[in-house]
Amino acid sequence: MRILGKGLALLGVLSVALPARADDFDDEPAPSVVAKGKRLEGGLAVGVSTEGWSHSMVGSGPRLDVGLGVGKGWAIVVGEAGRFSLAQAEAQRMMVFDLVGGVAYGAPYQARSGFGAVAFFGAERLSTSAAVGGLMTWAMTTTAGVRASFELETIDIWIGVDGVVRSSTIESGRPEPVGVPAVSAVMSVGCFFPAFAMSRIVASR
């Protein structure tokens, strides 16, 4: 009986001295905090662009650009735009259609409010709307411009000014033909719909 009593007393001492198993604390919260943040990954730019042509003619129309952020403020952008002349004479009605691709830095693709810059290369189709004797040609284009963006709730308002250089031009009408110049400026304004990626930040207590 003495031996049995000493054995039970030894087991009691060991149960107090030994550390508890990790399984015993499964129900306790982990000593860390998980925080979520938003990172701008690019987005969709929708707007209207206007270009000055010869003899005070103006071409206006919609544009659409899609940007994908690649880090450190840079984004890859592809876009298309169409501009149409507002002349009353049929011989002076013209249209240009752009398909471009390139890079952008800063706003609006990688900064919701601020300034940015773009550089595009692409192809352009120029044509007249005359039913008989209509003209059409293709041109290679180089575009460089600046952007400004302002955050407004869930969307952004952006404005841009671009310089465009064309490899070919088109002219129509007599006696003073009108046309699209080889070098011109394009002004655009529109809305930007930002795309975000959710990031998780784990900080130890």
Is residue 131 in some structural domain?
yes
Is residue 22 in some structural domain?
no
Is residue 138 in some structural domain?
yes
Is residue 163 in some structural domain?
yes
Is residue 41 in some structural domain?
yes
- To which residue do tokens 């930040």 refer? 201
Ranges assigned E (strand) in 53-182: 58-71, 74-85, 94-106, 114-128, 136-152, 155-166, 170-172, 178-180
Tens of pLDDT along the chain (205 residues) come to: 454 444 445 444 444 444 544 444 445 444 443 334 467 889 999 999 999 988 778 899 999 999 999 989 999 999 999 999 876 666 667 899 999 999 999 999 999 999 999 999 999 999 886 555 678 899 999 999 999 999 998 999 999 999 999 999 887 766 667 788 999 999 999 999 999 875 543 444 4
Left, alpha or beta for 133 (phi > 0: left; psi -120 to 50: alpha)?
left
CATH number at residue 44: 2.40.160.20
Instruction: Give the pLDDT confidence score for residue 133 in this predicted structure.
Output: 60
Instruction: Give the pLDDT confidence score for residue 178 in this predicted structure.
Output: 76
Q: Which domain holds residue 173?
A: 30-204
Is residue 190 in some structural domain?
yes
Is residue 75 in some structural domain?
yes
Copy the structure tokens of residue 59. 């071409």
- To which residue do tokens 């952007």 refer? 147
Is residue 18 in some structural domain?
no
How many domains, in total, are found in the chain? 1
